[in-house]
Structure 1
Amino acid sequence: MAGGPSTPELVAAVTRTGAGGFLAAGYLAPEAVAAQLRRTAELTHGRPFGVNLFVVEETPVDEAELQRFSAALEPYAREVGAELAEPTFDDDAFAAKLDIVLAERPAWVSFTFGCPDAEVFTALADRGIVSAQTVTDSDEARIAAERGADVLVVQGPEAGGHRGTLRADVWPTDTPLVELLQDIADIGVPMVAAGGIATRADVRRVLDHGARAAQIGTALLLADEAGTNPTHRAALRSEEFATTVVTRAFTGRPARGLANTVARLEAPAAYPHVHTMTSAFRKAAAAQGRADLTHLWAGLRYREAQPGPAAGIITALVP
């Protein structure tokens, strides 16, 4: 839950219920990741928790398409007094964050967007850290298993936020989560199910189809301890938005959110280039309450999300 909703307080609240809270390291500077890991360790009093890292590899992008998209966004950016930045690449400081994780030794580390080399999984295992890899189809699952991931986080199309495809230019499959679990089960690596899990019955269903656990995202966006911004919180409960859409318009990667003006624009497959281009614009739109212009990540079952303490939300999901 990178980009704001993830907080040490949310992770700790979830962990105190007996569930496994995960801190999001994406988009944070390495020193901020270190500080949040230590703060979370303080709040959890020795209970196990995890952290998620982005694995971003540079791939060719269509510069002409990036310029076309920038021109399409420019009028909206002017409305909120923001400038679109130059689209640039960075790897989210992966090496530095990995070094911090290896030193701090949280119980679990998960990876999204790319799959690290086998040496990374070996280094984690040597330190007693359980590793997990987000996958969206059986081919990705086999890659992760071959490189040594301990756990596969099987993400279905129902999920809110970014789809965890291993390539930014690949449009994710629409195969429902339960079918993905069935497709991937034969690989023989323990599975965690993610995507559209909003009720106790949803959790029971994925457990009945081979998952060892259910991963929750959208259901926690309205939690008291979540850092979800006020514009996003209001939009999730508003009648203004009637559906979700998978879009590249905010970051250059497919991500599911509430269907608004910008989400409906066609954008190139260019991550993190589109993300860096639009970041200041999206923050300005959110700060001004312009829900029509900022990203509003939400899974298919977002109407089920409820405000309140995270502990109560988690407890209500346990079969």
Structure 2
Amino acid sequence: MSEINWRYGAETIDNYLQTLLPAPKKKGERGLDRLTGAMRYAVFSDGKRTRPLLLLEAASCVHFARESKDNLFDLEMSLPAACSLELIHAYSLVHDDLPAMDNADTRRGQPSTHKKWGEAMAVLAGDALQTLAFEVAARIPDDDFWVSAEEPMRHLRVVRLIAEASGLQGMAGGQALDIDWTQDEKGRAKISGKQLAQLQSMKTGALLRVAAQCGAILGGGDEEQVEALRQYGEHLGRAFQIWDDVLDVEGDPEIMGKASSDADNLKMTYPGVFGMDESKRLARESSEAAHTSLQNFQTEADALRQLARFVIERQK
């Protein structure tokens, strides 16, 4: 990150998540202990923390674009919203792996949550993580945070945007399209490239887009800056998903920590619709578009530029 070290940011996020989901101290109520265990298993499973880190970096970027470089950025003011995105992401993966969805046995190199804790407990863990996410997102900062009359409305706007990105018009809606828009028995695509882009923009892109957008809002950005970061998140999310699809075909399962399942389930992927070469070109094009979205920012956006390159160079 530019002013915030990436590793420090990830550690700060993990520490905050630990306060939200502390390990059970005793085994008095087995059901609750098992639910907590399943929730912790889903959250603390070697995730990259991309979404919360993106929110924090976007907030930092806008803050330093508007303030003196000597005016330190208060990381903790944006932590609740950042961590709420990680909780939503974690719950979505738990549900995505269920037998009724992708029926995935592994996630990040270890048994998926329903394989470790049972299907019923995995469903409950996902439900509880989702509700915890909005409990956290709605937390009111200390009174010192309200430095202007605009701050409460910014906070409320962030909660609303996170809800929109998670629901019918976002991640959940995208998963519904993913279930219904399949290939035929010969593996031929039944949807167009435009439809695939819509599906992935909702299912995967929505949380990345809203992370950048909400970060800009919490960083005190004006509408032009908020829109620039929203567009950045849109393009970044597309590059991220296309490259994920590429790795599902060409990636090393040992490095990725999961076996390819999309091809087995005849799900829609960019290589399946466009072919591998065109998919890689589209990923590079989306990465470059993310760069272009930051053209009005200076060095404070360098980490975001690096992230746009990283998503199409990573191996997992």
Scaled by the length of structure 2, the TM-score of the pair is 0.30
Higher strand proportion, which one? 1
